[in-house]
């Protein structure tokens, strides 16, 4: 069949779901009988694309509390376009509540997404998520399933307010908690802050991992144009959801699968977007993992190369001054991408049916302080740097735009903590031998050691130093850091200490050199001494003997390759299910 523009489109009998509903044997009869049980007349759904609406709504996830209602707008769009929407509740990954960290479960949601799409009569999908790990998880699974799919970002929450100041979720949580620890504010102020920090549905409204990843999804071309910047409660968000539902049906007829959209150029543009946003360091891990699912090689070095030529244009916290709501009013992501156009691959297709370039063409900037031009950037260089050295042979990452510049070239003695619990126990101990020049080291917090690489990477500054006015120190770890955190924090050290990475060999007092301009992280200890320590090192016992943790521990890869499960990231045969 062809559409009005002469493009070939699928015939109803070519739909994947036809294998279930159109079968002439007893199975087809059974599938149709069960549709009647669902209360559907044949003309309502037979021969129509079945669109799975994968919804990460849950009563425990405040960032997605509006998604149950928003699914109604998605399904409205799907019905209107002549599709058949089917809602699938899928695992919710709440950054706030799920312990030890939702990163442990990103691959579980990815696996669930892929297998649901594979095992049911599904022709296309709408993916609903936004809180940190949900975006990469849904897209990783959908990329592996390789059906046509549209991502509906949950949208940022509204600005927070407190005593006339605007509050950023995450960023200000850390800031005011430090003020509380240092005695600058008391219980009364803290109580008020609890009520003002997160005041509407939606994900974090700073440029944390959530906004970074939904914006990356938009730059990849898998959302409706402009979708990622719309505040969760804005009526435009309802309209975007309905439009995504409508478009998902057309994508099925056009057979425009994710593999045609998620190309290396798309991933490079997503990486450039993350850098121009001054986005979360978590994006490196997620984009590398997502690219792996698309059969695309994306490396830490790709990010570092881009970071040297992509300026930071979004003046949004934690690297800048404003919040996502301001960013939306200033023109949102399309306006920023239009500023970045010469650096992007504009000819590639998107789910919207236009090229990426057409999607952003002419998008105006309404506030030149919030969305900067390359001539007047927040920072000339991208916000991230990839470091290597004898402490991080496979790489480490620092978001240096949020660090105090004096620390970007620094040598200091190590103060080592073997776990986060150890750190919590000793960090405020008056006997701890530490100065503002010390280098705080946390290990045992990587993909296996954490487990799940918890966001411990912004190690707290000792109370004593805080009271002296110290606001930043060099901190290094194999952990991740919340996208809303800040400071001279070297993260994602690979390989991690738990598997015997050099971080395991550091001892109190060892000098450590951080040199961001030279992209270097070095332990100033001789090779002989390191070899002696290495020979003494003993691998820890596996933490899990059963359950998902055991599966995780056995298959998780290191940060530089995306922390996917090896058996999910590799190419290979995975046949369509037999439906007869």
**Site residues, ligand FES (CB under 6 A):** 63, 95-96, 131-132, 170, 203-204, 208, 210
Spell out the alpha helix ranges (H) of 427-494.
463-467
482 is a site residue for Mg ion (CB under 5 A): yes
What track of x and - describes contact with Mg ion for positions 227 through 256 (by CB under 5 A)?
------------------------------
DSSP 575: P
> 556 - beta bridge partners?
565
Instruction: Write the CB contacts of 29 (distance below 8 Å, at least 6 apart in sequence).
Output: 23
129 is a site residue for Mg ion (CB under 5 A): no
Tokens of 523: 């332990």
Residue with smaller CB distance to ligand FES, 121 or 170:
170
> 359 - beta bridge partners?
none
Residue with smaller CB distance to ligand FES, 32 or 106:
106
Tokens of 481: 């850091």
Least Cα distance to 287 among 214, 198, 231, 227 occurs for 214
Rounded to a whole number of angstroms, the minimum distance from the CB of residue 191 to Mg ion is: 23
Instruction: Write the CB contacts of 357 (distance below 8 Å, at least 6 apart in sequence).
Output: 341, 344, 346, 347
Please give the sequence-ordered ranges of beta strands (E in DSSP) within 435-481, or none if there are none. Answer: 439-442, 474-477
Residue with smaller CB distance to ligand FES, 210 or 284:
210
CA–CA separation, 420 vs 555, rounded Å? 23
Residue with smaller CB distance to ligand FES, 210 or 466:
210
What are the Cα distances from residue 529, in Å, to 120, 442, 476, 534, 535? 58, 21, 21, 9, 10
Report the chain's C-alpha Rg in angstroms.
24
Rounded to a whole number of angstroms, the minimum distance from the CB of residue 310 to Mg ion is: 22
Rounded to a whole number of angstroms, the minimum distance from the CB of residue 63 to ligand FES is: 3
Which partner from the list ligand FES, Mg ion, none does 96 bind, CB cut-off 5 to 8 Å by kind?
ligand FES
Rounded to a whole number of angstroms, the minimum distance from the CB of residue 402 to ligand FES is: 17
Residue with smaller CB distance to ligand FES, 204 or 313:
204
Rounded to a whole number of angstroms, the minimum distance from the CB of residue 423 to ligand FES is: 22
Residue 285 near residue 569, CB atoms below 8 Å? no
DSSP helix, strand, coil percent of the chain (3-state; round to 5): 40, 15, 45
Tokens of 67: 């998604």
Rounded to a whole number of angstroms, the minimum distance from the CB of residue 162 to ligand FES is: 18
Rounded to a whole number of angstroms, the minimum distance from the CB of residue 226 to Mg ion is: 23
Residue with smaller CB distance to ligand FES, 290 or 568:
290
Judged by CB under 5 A, the residue of 123, 132, 146, 172 near Mg ion is 132
Judged by CB under 5 A, the residue of 121, 208, 451, 454 near Mg ion is 208
Q: Which stretch binds Mg ion (CB under 5 A): 181-189, 298-306, 322-330, 475-483?
A: 475-483
> 195 - beta bridge partners?
none
Binding-site ranges for Mg ion (CB under 5 A): 95, 132, 208-209, 482
């Amino acid at each position: 069949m062809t559409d009005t523009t002469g493009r070939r489109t699928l015939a109803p009998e070519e739909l994947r779901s036809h294998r279930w509903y159109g079968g002439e044997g007893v199975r087809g009869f059974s599938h149709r009988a069960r549709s009647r049980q669902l209360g559907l007349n044949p003309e309502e759904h037979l021969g129509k694309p079945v669109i799975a609406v994968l919804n990460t709504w849950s009563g425990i996830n405040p960032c997605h509390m509006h998604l149950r209602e928003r699914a109604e707008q998605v399904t409205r769009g799907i019905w209107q376009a002549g599709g058949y929407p089917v809602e699938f509740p899928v695992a919710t990954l709440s950054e706030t509540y799920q312990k030890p960290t939702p990163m442990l479960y990103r691959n579980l949601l990815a696996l669930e997404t892929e297998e649901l799409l594979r095992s049911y009569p599904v022709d296309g999908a709408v993916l609903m998520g936004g809180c940190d790990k949900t975006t990469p998880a849904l897209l990783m699974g959908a990329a592996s399933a390789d059906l046509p799919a549209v991502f509906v970002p949950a949208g940022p929450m509204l600005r927070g307010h407190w005593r006339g100041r605007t509050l950023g979720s995450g960023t200000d949580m850390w800031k005011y908690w430090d003020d509380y620890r240092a005695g600058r504010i008391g219980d009364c102020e803290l109580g008020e802050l609890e009520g003002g920090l997160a005041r509407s549905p939606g994900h974090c409204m700073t440029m944390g991992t959530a906004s970074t990843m939904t914006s990356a999804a938009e730059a990849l071309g898998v959302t409706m144009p402009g979708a990622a910047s719309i505040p969760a409660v804005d009526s435009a968000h309802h309209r975007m959801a309905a439009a995504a539902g409508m478009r998902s049906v057309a994508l099925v007829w056009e057979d425009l699968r994710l593999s045609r959209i998620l190309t290396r150029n798309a991933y490079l543009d997503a990486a450039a977007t993350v850098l121009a946003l001054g986005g979360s360091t978590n994006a490196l891990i997620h984009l590398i993992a997502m690219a792996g699912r698309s059969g695309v090689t994306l490396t830490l070095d790709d990010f570092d190369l881009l970071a040297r030529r992509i300026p930071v244009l979004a003046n949004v916290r934690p690297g800048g001054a404003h919040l996502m709501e301001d960013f939306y009013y200033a023109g949102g992501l399309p306006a920023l991408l239009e500023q970045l156009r010469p650096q992007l691959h504009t000819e590639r297709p998107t789910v919207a049916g236009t090229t990426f370039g057409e999607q952003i063409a002419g998008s105006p900037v309404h506030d030149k302080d919030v969305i900067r031009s390359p001539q007047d950037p927040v920072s000339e260089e991208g916000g991230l740097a990839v470091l290597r050295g004898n402490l991080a042979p496979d790489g480490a990452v620092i978001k240096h735009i949020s660090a105090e510049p004096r620390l970007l070239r620094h040598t200091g003695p190590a103060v080592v903590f073997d776990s986060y619990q150890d750190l919590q126990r000793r960090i405020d101990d008056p006997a701890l031998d530490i100065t503002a020049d010390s280098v705080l080291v946390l290990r045992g917090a990587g993909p296996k050691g954490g487990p799940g690489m918890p966001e411990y990477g912004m190690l707290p500054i000792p109370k004593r130093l805080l009271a002296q006015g110290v606001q930043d120190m060099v901190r290094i770890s194999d952990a991740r850091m919340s996208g809303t955190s800040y400071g001279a924090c070297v993260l994602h050290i690979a390989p991690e200490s738990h598997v015997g990475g050099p971080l395991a060999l550091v001892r109190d007092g060892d000098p450590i050199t951080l040199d961001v301009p030279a992209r270097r992280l070095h332990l100033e200890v001789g090779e002989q001494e390191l070899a002696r320590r290495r020979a003494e090192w003993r691998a820890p016992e596996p933490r899990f003997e059963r359950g998902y943790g055991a599966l995780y521990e056995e298959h998780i890869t290191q940060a530089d390759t995306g922390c996917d499960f090896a058996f999910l990231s590799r190419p290979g045969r995975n046949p369509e299910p037999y439906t007869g």
